[in-house]
């Protein structure tokens, strides 16, 4: 299981980015997201996506310090100050425990660097935490996250070169 922990979420300022983090986490193969600050609107939005598009992805909120101290698996912190993530990717893929991937919204406390088993950089330049999460999860899953299907969907996209085709769960329920 892969859990994404988003720390530093500020509801008035970060709602759009945190929503994007959750959507990327779900689409790129994570199982859940924990947000350090309660935000019912984001939780509702993501639950609505899961309801429509399927999957078992969950969103919750928790105090990040308590969460990582009680987390039973390995903690991977994505930061621009860590070692290049690709140097450790094979090792991380071999982990048999649950993995918590931490990304911050603002400067993260220095204690987080000590709590993490891995401090990994997706580049050593300022960048988006959304991009870092997408790259990490894509490399972790080696692109196979896009091969999975969600059986409990209400809608799914039928790939096509031109236009937009959304298929409903019942046969013949197409929208264009």
What does the pLDDT read at residue 171? Answer: 45
Domain annotation for the chain: domains and CATH numbers: 2-150 (3.40.1280.10)
Give dist(CA 115, CA 130) in Å, integer. 22
Residues 127-165 pLDDT 10s: 788 999 999 999 999 888 877 777 778 888 888 888 888
Instruction: Give Cβ neighbours of residue 169 (< 8 Å, ≥ 6 apart).
Output: 153, 154, 155
**Going by DSSP bridges, is the β-strand pair 32-35/74-84 parallel, antiparallel, or unpaired?**
unpaired
Mean pLDDT, the chain, integer: 87
| Residue 8, both tokens | 């530093």
The helix/strand/coil state of 123 is coil
**pLDDT 10s digits, 45-101:** 899 989 888 888 999 999 999 999 999 999 999 998 899 999 999 999 999 999 999
Asked if 81 contacts 119 with a C-beta cutoff of 8 angstroms, the reply is yes
């Amino acid at each position: 299981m892969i859990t994404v922990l988003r720390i530093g979420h500020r509801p008035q300022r970060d709602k759009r980015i945190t929503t994007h983090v959750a959507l990327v986490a779900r689409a790129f193969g994570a199982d859940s997201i924990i947000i350090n600050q309660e935000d019912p609107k984001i939780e509702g939005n993501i639950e609505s996506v899961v309801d429509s598009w399927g999957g078992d992805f969950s969103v919750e909120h928790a105090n990040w310090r308590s969460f990582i101290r009680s987390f039973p698996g390995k903690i991977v912190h994505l930061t621009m100050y860590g070692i290049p993530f690709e140097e450790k990717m094979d090792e991380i893929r071999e982990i048999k425990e649950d993995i918590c991937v931490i990304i911050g919204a603002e400067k993260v406390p220095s204690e987080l660097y000590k709590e993490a088993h891995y401090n990994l950089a997706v580049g050593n330049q300022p960048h988006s935490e959304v991009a870092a999460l997408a790259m990490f999860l894509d490399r972790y899953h080696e692109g196979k996250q896009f091969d999975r299907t969600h059986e409990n969907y209400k809608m799914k996209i039928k790939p096509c070169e031109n236009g937009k085709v959304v298929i409903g769960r019942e046969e013949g329920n197409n929208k264009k």
